[in-house]
């Protein structure tokens, strides 16, 4: 872009901004920026959102100031059209992959002076197919649900453009706009994404949006993802598309390659898909006959006759599930007078039901169970359609889900420590592997009692069990949270897998509480002396101080550690270093991967 002289805009008055705006519009000094939007399951770029900046040396560089000046000057539409033109031209020049998301205001769509066909003509000139363009309607501005705006939206749709709702949740009648426009995708406003890991209300809002979107076969895009914690929680909730500074910042020359961490995660999940299937809905998946949306009800009737065990059939459109057709609905229709004769040649869409849960195969059983139980009792159905990257994979059922969850609880109980009822080494190792293969960010803390054997020998195993139970209770009290996994390997060894941010503070709380409460387990004499005297292997009296806890913490690199074996090795080494410190101690290791011995 050529360099233009720009008027001095140190004056902050509105008139100066408006004068500067005139210069911007006359000389077309707008720089398009593009922010990538990613498929969170594969790391691939599905498109870019077009953003605009004014001249770098001016107050109008940032979009808020730029567009406020345009509104004040009554030239918003002129600025919008210029930004659109520049964005399309630059999109074509850079040959960016995927779709281009263009923001369009309600006022521009409603304007009687808005000339239809200009965008289509420019696309033809640039060689861009219209199905690569997504028109974003911001919910921050009111839309007339029965006037020119919706007619204009429908015009764009008929021309081959896709429609999206931007900033969902912050503006005017979002659900009404969603219902009226019926977009192909919705963008959840960044307000609901910011610190979603710390706000249960925001999590419930996002869950609700996902549930509505699934029933309407609408894509959900999370805006404003700023850190790994937010990203991982959104993926756990079922969000499959996103954008934000953590994934990629707006740039005049944006990246055109897959997101490295997301792509690595996708490969690892694919390679290790079977390792933890017991905890994902993939374990419920079974193959059943399907019908296409264009098939007739006669075809459905014949398939259900040949498969008497099936209560419903998935309905697909080019491999993408749209809903189900149920046996009882078909029987009711055909049992009426002349029902079969009237309806057997009708398409499946006549009986298509969309009130079915559609989930990605990597979603946890617990998450699916929660989605089902959150449905209204009158709307609760037994079918679960399982997809992989949006394409039909198979089906599960509510009965299968409940049985699998019960089996897993029994399995975990089998490996639970009888003293504390915490999961043992097998579930601990499986959980570490699960987090590694999902490329999650987590810490592992190894807890061990200092000089526990002398105490056990001195007071007996019953008193020793009390100490172990005390430490178990303190770990449960201070460390339990939805993000953490608590385990008891056996004896006086505990392991906690942290995903919470305040793990160090929680560990120190355990140390302080143990130091205070363990005193109650000593006799007054030993307590007064500050420990116990016991004969060692050399048959000499040796003094052992009051019991204390050593905690070693590691932060494993999920991309360098191949399995739980390496993480456990790191944690054990950190615990040894903590024990060397003496007393109640917390040692935080800097090592993130195991040493390779040649």
**Mean pLDDT of the region 375-392:** 74
pLDDT at 558 over 70: yes
- Phi, psi (degrees; rounded to nearest 5) at 5: -70, 145
pLDDT over 90 (residue 1): no
d(CA 431, CA 91): 44
Lowest-pLDDT choice from 417-421, 508-512, 518-522: 417-421
Task: Pick 65 or 222 by higher pLDDT.
Answer: 222
Coil, helix or strand for 18? Answer: helix
* pLDDT mean over 79-91: 94
**pLDDT at site 271:** 41
Distance separating alpha carbons of residues 115 and 517, to the nearest angstrom: 77
Mean pLDDT across 302-306: 94
DSSP 227-273: SHHHHHHHHHHT--EE-BTTTB--BSS---S--HHHHHHHHHHHHTT
Band of the pLDDT at 49, cuts 50, 70, 90?
very high
When comparing pLDDT for 438 and 393, which is higher? 393
Residue 274 has pLDDT above 50, yes or no: no
The 8-class DSSP code of residue 283 comes to: G
pLDDT class for 98, splitting at 50, 70, 90? confident
Q: How would you label 150-174 residue by residue, b for 16+ Cβ within 10 Å and e otherwise?
A: bebbeebbebebbbbbbbbbebeeb
Indicate whether 207 pLDDT > 70: yes
pLDDT, one tens digit per residue, over 51-70 is 999 998 888 888 888 988 88
What gap in Å lies between CA 363 and CA 52, rounded to an integer?
37
Looking at residues 183-192, what average pLDDT do you find? 92
Report d(CA 330, CA 447) in Å as an integer.
Answer: 60
What percentage of the chain reaches a pLDDT higher than 90?
Answer: 45
* Span of 50-54, 198-202, 564-568 with lowest mean pLDDT: 198-202
* 148 CA to centre of own chain: 37
Q: ∠ CA 435-271-242 to the nearest 5 degrees?
A: 60
Sequential DSSP letters for 547-582? PEEEEEEE---TTT--SHHHHHHHHHHHHHHHHHH-
Q: Is the pLDDT of residue 135 over 70?
A: yes
Segment among 134-148, 193-207, 462-476, 523-537 with least mean pLDDT: 134-148
pLDDT value of residue 410: 74
Q: What is the pLDDT of residue 171?
A: 55
- What the block records as the tokens of 94 is 């850079």
- The pair of three-digit structure tokens given for residue 238, joined into one six-digit string: 């079922």
Sheet architecture: strand order including 291-292: 291-292, 312-317, 320-326
Contact between 79 and 107 under an 8 Å Cβ cutoff? The reply is no
Band (pLDDT 50/70/90 cuts) for residue 144 is low
Q: Count Cβ atoms below 10 Å from residue 390 Cβ, excluding itself.
A: 16
Query: What pLDDT is attached to residue 282?
Result: 86
Residue in 92, 102, 1 with CA at minimum distance from that of residue 48: 102
Q: Cα torsion for 363, 368, 374, 377, to the nearest 10°?
A: 150
pLDDT at 10: 41
What is the Cα–Cα distance from 123 to 306, expressed in whole angstroms?
Answer: 51
The pLDDT confidence band at residue 566, using thresholds 50, 70 and 90, is: very high
pLDDT value at residue 64 = 86
Q: Give the per-residue pLDDT at 11.
A: 42
* Continuous segment of H or E residues that includes residue 19: helix 14-27
Place of tokens 């017991």: 278
Sign of CA dihedral 227, 229, 230, 232: positive
Q: Tell me if 545 sits within 8 A of 530, measured CB to CB.
A: yes
* Predicted local distance difference test score (pLDDT) of residue 105: 82
Give me the DSSP letters along 45-68: EEEEEEEEE--TTSGGGSHHHHHH
* Beta-strand pair 31-39/162-168: unpaired
Q: What is residue 113's predicted lDDT score, i.e. its pLDDT? A: 64
**Complete domains list, the chain, with CATH:** 35-49+81-247+258-267 (3.20.20.450), 281-404 (3.10.580.10), 415-588 (3.30.70.270)
| CA gap 102, 96 in Å, rounded | 14
What is the rounded average pLDDT of the residues 486-495? Answer: 95
Q: In this predicted model, which residue has the larger pLDDT, 269 or 233? A: 233
Q: In terms of residues, how long is the chain?
A: 598
| Spacing of C-alpha 197 from chain mean position | 10
Average pLDDT over residues 128-148: 73
Which residue did the predictor score with more confidence, 497 or 356? 497
**Three-class DSSP category at 160:** coil
Helices 148-158 and 174-181, axial angle in degrees (round to 10): 50
Residue 412 — pLDDT band, cuts 50, 70, 90? low
Residue 273 pLDDT > 70? no
What is the residue-wise DSSP string for 493-561?
Answer: EEEEEE-STTHHHHHHHHHHHHHHHGGGGS-HHHHHHTEEEEE-TTS-EEEEESPEEEEEEE---TTT-
Question: Would the pLDDT of 318 be above 90?
Answer: no
pTM given for the model: 0.50
Reduced 3-state DSSP string for 286-299:
ECCCCEECCCEHHH
pLDDT at position 275 is 36
Write down the mean pLDDT value for the chain: 85
**pLDDT tens digit string along 320-341?**
998 999 999 999 988 887 888 8
């Amino acid at each position: 872009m050529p360099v233009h002289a720009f008027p001095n805009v140190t004056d902050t008055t509105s008139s100066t901004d408006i004068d500067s705006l005139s210069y911007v519009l006359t000389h077309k000094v707008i720089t398009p920026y593009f922010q990538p939007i990613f498929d969170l399951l594969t790391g691939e770029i599905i498109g870019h959102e077009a953003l605009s900046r004014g001249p770098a040396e001016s107050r109008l560089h940032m979009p808020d100031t730029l567009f406020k000046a345009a509104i004040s000057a009554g030239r918003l539409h002129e600025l919008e059209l210029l930004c659109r033109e520049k964005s399309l031209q630059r999109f074509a020049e850079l040959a960016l992959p995927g779709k281009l998301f263009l923001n369009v205001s309600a006022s521009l769509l409603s304007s009687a002076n808005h000339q239809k066909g200009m965008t289509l003509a420019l696309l033809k000139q640039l060689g861009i197919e219209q199905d690569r363009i997504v028109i974003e309607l911001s919910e921050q501005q009111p839309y007339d649900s029965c006037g020119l705006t919706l007619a204009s939206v429908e015009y764009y749709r008929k021309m081959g453009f896709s429609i999206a709702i931007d900033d969902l949740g912050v503006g005017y009648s979002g659900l009404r706009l969603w219902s009226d426009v019926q977009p192909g995708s919705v963008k959840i406003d960044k307000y609901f994404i910011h610190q979603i890991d710390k706000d249960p209300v925001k999590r419930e809002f996002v869950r609700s949006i996902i549930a509505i979107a699934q029933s309407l076969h609408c894509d959900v895009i999370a805006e404003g993802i700023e850190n790994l914690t937010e990203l991982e929680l959104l993926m756990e909730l079922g969000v499959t598309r996103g954008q934000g500074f953590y994934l990629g910042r707006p740039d005049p020359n944006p990246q055109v390659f897959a997101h490295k961490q997301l792509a690595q995660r996708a490969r690892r999940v694919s390679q290790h898909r079977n390792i933890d299937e017991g905890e994902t809905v993939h374990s419920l998946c079974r193959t059943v006959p399907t019908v296409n949306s264009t098939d007739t009800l006669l075809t459905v009737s014949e398939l259900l006759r040949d498969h008497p065990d099936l209560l419903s059939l998935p309905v697909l459109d080019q491999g993408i599930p749209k809903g189900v057709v149920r046996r009882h609905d078909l029987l009711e229709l055909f049992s009426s007078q002349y029902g079969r004769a009237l309806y057997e040649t009708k398409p499946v869409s006549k009986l298509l039901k969309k009130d079915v849960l559609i989930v990605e195969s990597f979603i946890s059983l617990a998450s699916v169970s929660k989605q089902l139980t959150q449905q209204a009792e009158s709307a609760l159905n037994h079918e679960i359609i399982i997809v992989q990257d949006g394409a039909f994979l198979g089906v599960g059922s509510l009965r299968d889900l409940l049985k699998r969850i019960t089996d897993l609880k029994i399995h975990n109980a089998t490996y639970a420590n009888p003293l504390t009822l915490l999961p043992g080494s097998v579930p601990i190792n499986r959980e570490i592997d699960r987090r590694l293969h999902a490329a999650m960010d987590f810490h592992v803390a190894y807890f061990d009692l200092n000089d526990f054997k002398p105490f056990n020998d001195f007071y007996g195993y019953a008193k020793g069990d009390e100490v172990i139970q005390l430490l178990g209770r303190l770990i449960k009290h201070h460390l339990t949270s939805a993000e953490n996994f608590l385990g008891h390997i056996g004896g006086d060894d505990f392991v906690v897998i942290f995903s919470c941010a305040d793990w160090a503070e929680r560990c120190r709380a355990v140390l302080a509480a143990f130091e205070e409460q363990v005193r109650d387990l000593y006799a007054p004499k030993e307590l007064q002396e500050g420990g116990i005297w016991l004969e060692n292997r050399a048959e000499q009296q040796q003094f052992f101080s009051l019991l204390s806890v050593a905690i070693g913490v590691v932060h494993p690199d999920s991309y360098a550690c191949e399995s739980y074996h390496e993480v456990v090795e790191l944690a054990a080494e950190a615990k040894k270093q903590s024990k060397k410190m003496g007393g109640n101690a917390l040692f935080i290791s800097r090592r993130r991967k195991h040493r390779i011995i040649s």
